[in-house]
Amino acid sequence: MMYYADESRGKRFAKDPAVVAYRGKYWMFYSAPPFGDGREDDGWNIAVATSTDLDNWTKLGDVKKPSELERKGFCAPGAIVIDDKIHLFYQTYGGWRNDAICHATTTDGINLTPNPTNPIFRPHGDWNCGRAIDADVIPWNDRLVMAVATRDPDMKIQKLAIADAPLDSDFARDKWTQLVDKSILEPVLPWEGECIEAPAFIKHNGKLFMFYAGAYNNWPQQIGCAVTTDCVNWTRVSDSPVLPNGKPGEWNSSESGHPFAFQAPDGSQHLFFQGNNDKGKSWFISRKSIRWNGDVPYFV
């Protein structure tokens, strides 16, 4: 079983995976925590590891902060390959309700070329606080669809917003259109607590599915799934988590959270997710293969 953590900060810790196939290997971008040793501008950072088999990963390095926007921190990347470049859609971190989604490209995984209009997206409307985190994107017809997590105006309830931009655009700020002036998914089930976050898109049988994390970290966070045909109206495939946290004593007993869905070049589908068994003192990233029973996913 894949069981990856970054040990460069003095503890075993990796969160928020995003995986692409690029130039003959797999690239996994993830969130790494501050070093905590007093160094300047020591915030959350995006790091990257590579693999040839999706299970054994070697850290390539820390992604360099591309501008002043990321000085306090940046993390939780979404990743996609378009026109032979890796596109990252990530959040600034450290600004609380002012955090928003930025876009950059890279060909080496370390050095980013930022979109000059960053931040490119934050939701509007009196139903949310204007914050945007946890972006994921997927091509849908001639558009690039992006879902993000935001919160209510009181910064208590985490929920999802959705937008799109022309697939052949530069993904600048003025290219994005918020598709609906309300949340597309918010917590209503007991296990979802006060939080739905970390949307993770995948296509199956001509429909668009979205895995999501329900409940805040270690409540426990668990993974659900919803489906749509129009990107706006989403229906849960189950009232229970499709990937629950582990049993007491297991590596993910504190949570199975923050999913990322990846379709490999051979057509196989995989769910990457984070977990721990110590209430967040450590974090690991693991992977399961996705299988389907109609519209309901299961994992092996």
> How many angstroms separate the CA atoms of 241 and 90, rounded?
26
- This prediction has a pTM of 0.98
What domains does the chain contain, in order, with CATH numbers? 15-299 (2.115.10.20)
C-beta pairs of 228-234 under 8 Å, 24+ apart in sequence: 231/140, 231/145, 231/162, 231/164, 231/179, 232/162, 232/179, 232/180, 232/184, 233/184, 234/184, 234/185, 234/210
Average pLDDT, integer, range 54-78: 97
Mean pLDDT estimate for the chain: 97
Asked if residue 179 has pLDDT above 90, the reply is yes
pLDDT tens by residue, 32-51: 999 999 999 899 999 999 99
pLDDT tens by residue, 238-259: 999 999 999 999 999 999 999 9
| pLDDT score, position 1 | 79
pLDDT tens by residue, 140-178: 999 999 999 999 999 999 999 999 999 999 999 999 999
Segment holding 86, helix H or strand E: strand 85-92
Residue 249 carries which side chain, given as an amino acid letter? G
